Chains A and B, each alone.
Chain A
Amino acid sequence: MFVDHDKVGDLPSAAARVSDGDMVALGGGLSARLPMALVRELVRLGRQDLHLVGSAHGMDVDLLVAAGAVAVCEESYVGFEQDLGLAPSYRRAAEAGQLEIRETCCVTILTQLRAAQMGLPFLPVRGVKGTDIRRMHPDYAEIVCPFTGETLVAVPPLEPDVALIHAPMGDRVGNLHLEQPYVLDEHFARAARQVVATVDRLATTEEVVATGVTIPGHRVSVVVEVPFGAHPTSCYPGYAYDRQHLAAYVAAAGQAQTAQDYLAEWVTRPGGEDAYRAALDQDRLDRLMSWSDTIEEWKELFV
């Protein structure tokens, strides 16, 4: 556990806690509260051979794959749903045999994180048996229940080296407030060796406590204030997702060369994360933040 009273750091040194080859857990899910500023910083640092784990993800995984940072993908889903479709860079790398796919299931990964939290060598799951997900995983096994005689699939503990979590608000101790869905973030925080957190806004402990602590500071090793740190994904109550930016990314990622163009324009340009934020259209950001003004304006963000 992490007992320091002040864990505020800067983005490059926070992201540098991830080493080449690490197992990295990604917080958030789909296009909500993905730790995008940390993901971009990992690209800037040139990290490689990462083993990414998560439930259902999107641009975070795709961007890291586009940047050549990933060796293994272990998620239950990577994509942009029916709206923007398959994840282009992830798909291209998988189809070229350049990425080891260890596809998982939301329940399996939850169970593996619970085993890690409990200090157990395995836990069983009811499903998976008879599917090709089972055949894809030599790391799973079968076990006969000593009480019922049933054969169940046993899965090993999952202990990520680092969990990357973005929150709308947190304090200097690392206490984080999240809005639902929490997805696996609480479990990642308990199972990982360390949590690297970004927050849209650093607040007083009193304010975070009054709003509700979702992840306690003693699980967090460093916290960095990064406004719009989940952009272009959403981070309620702050901002809705930037569908236009995501659509532009998915279009760019469709070809290897234009994916690199996106990285050069938005991620690796000089000036780091500040330059990313400065390049965003302020009117657009204002609209994403004003989602709660009227239902009509909220709805318009999705058109």
Chain B
Amino acid sequence: MNWNLPEWFVVTLARTISDREVVFHGFGSPCAQVAMHVARRTHAPNMLLIEGAMYAVNPAPPFVPPTSNDQALKYGAAYSMRFEEFFDAACRGEVDRMFLSGGQIDPYGNTNVTAIGPMNRPKVKLGGGGGGCNISATIRHLTLWTTRHRSGRTLVQECDFITDVGHRTPAGSRVDLGYTGGGPAHLVTELGVFDYGDVGRARLVQIFPDVTLDEVERSTGFELQVSPDLGTVPEPTEEELEIVRAVDPLAVHASEFDPSELDRTFTSEPAIA
């Protein structure tokens, strides 16, 4: 059995979902999107899957298109929520999990999707955060992800701009801010997996087997904390891999990665020379 890093990454995201959760991904998030379908078809058959910008409930898309407002994404859904119907549910605390990414992510899980550099003259104006500035406060759990950890510019000590809230901002903790959601539970990167421990700060708990701790440390812009139980990211099953490929035949999820990451391939049997 062979697989590549993007496939493994998607399966790892999928495993952050529990059965019976109400789960949402934002637009421009094909890794999270495919992961939700993998979870629903494997260990979380009773989750409520709310599909990106279509707000379609439990659809069965025949493929994942490279844009999130496409009708392919409501294919097979009995119902699609209205915009306000989804966001009201998210603000009210009825959504259990959302996937969030960022151009910068700090140790507390705050994310920046607005701008790198000063806001009046940014070095890079990023796209913006969609609904995250409100619903990151109220959704029960957040799974963060980035495919750009290795760049060294993504995991930073301090975000240039906080668009979406993690466990604490300079203005205070989630409790201080009156935020009803639990904040980031995991951060999955192309190098490994972090949790947020008891104190709401990123802590490396798993690492991909072709990555060294030194590489992770060099790529991380804040002091790397490592769990005493650091392990290897569990391998995907054959079933999970088949579902990744069936859900996303155009491999849109792979477009989130730097091309060099696509060369990372793995096999569950020792290679025979």
Binding site for B on A (CB under 8 A): 28-33, 55-56, 75-79, 81-83, 86-87, 90-91, 94-97, 101, 103, 105-108, 110, 125-133, 136, 150-152, 179-184, 186-187, 234, 236-237, 240-241, 243, 295, 298-299, 302-303
- For this complex, 22 residue pairs linking A to B, each with C-beta atoms less than 8 Å apart, are A30-B53, A56-B27, A76-B129, A76-B130, A76-B131, A77-B127, A79-B127, A86-B125, A87-B127, A94-B122, A95-B122, A101-B119, A101-B125, A106-B130, A126-B134, A127-B138, A130-B162, A130-B169, A133-B114, A133-B163, A243-B66, A303-B250
Distance, CA A233 to CA B135, complexed state (A) = 27
Contact B62 A299 (CB under 8 A): yes
Closest to A153 in B: B134
Distance, CA A282 to CA B159, complexed state (A) = 48
Contact B256 A82 (CB under 8 A): yes
| Residues of B126-174 contacting chain A, CB below 8 A | 126-138, 161-165, 169-172
Distance (Å) between the CB of A300 and the closest chain B CB? 10
Contact of A181 among B28, B53, B135 (CB under 8 A): B53
Which residues of chain B have C-beta atoms less than 8 A from A129's C-beta?
137, 171, 177-178
Proximity string of chain B (62-99) to chain A, C-beta cutoff 8 Å, 1 when within and 0 when not = 11011111111010000010111001001100000000
Contact A95 B123 (CB under 8 A): yes
Distance, CA A255 to CA B63, complexed state (A) = 33
3 closest A-B pairs by CB: A127-B134, A79-B127, A106-B131
Contact B28 A105 (CB under 8 A): no
Which residues of chain A have C-beta atoms less than 8 A from B71's C-beta?
179, 234, 236-237
Since A81-B27, A295-B62 are in contact, a sample of 5 more A-B pairs with Cβ atoms closer than 8 Å, ordered by chain A residue number, is A79-B126, A90-B125, A127-B134, A180-B80, A186-B82
Say whether B265 faces chain A, with CB atoms less than 8 Å apart: no
Contact of B133 among A32, A95, A108, A237 (CB under 8 A): A108
Distance (Å) between the CB of A298 and the closest chain B CB? 7
Contact A29 B62 (CB under 8 A): no
Are A132 and B134 CB-contacts (below 8 A) given A82-B255, A302-B65? no
Which residues of chain A have C-beta atoms less than 8 A from B266's C-beta?
none
Contact B163 A132 (CB under 8 A): yes
Distance, CA A95 to CA B116, complexed state (A) = 10
Interface-centre pick from A125, A130, A241, A295 (highest chain B CB count, 10 A) = A130
Contact B53 A29 (CB under 8 A): yes
Which residues of chain A have C-beta atoms less than 8 A from B119's C-beta?
101, 132, 136
Which residues of chain B have C-beta atoms less than 8 A from A33's C-beta?
69
Contact B63 A97 (CB under 8 A): no
Distance, CA A32 to CA B27, complexed state (A) = 12
Say whether B184 faces chain A, with CB atoms less than 8 Å apart: no
Which residues of chain A have C-beta atoms less than 8 A from B24's C-beta?
none
Interface-centre pick from B70, B133, B137 (highest chain A CB count, 10 A) = B133
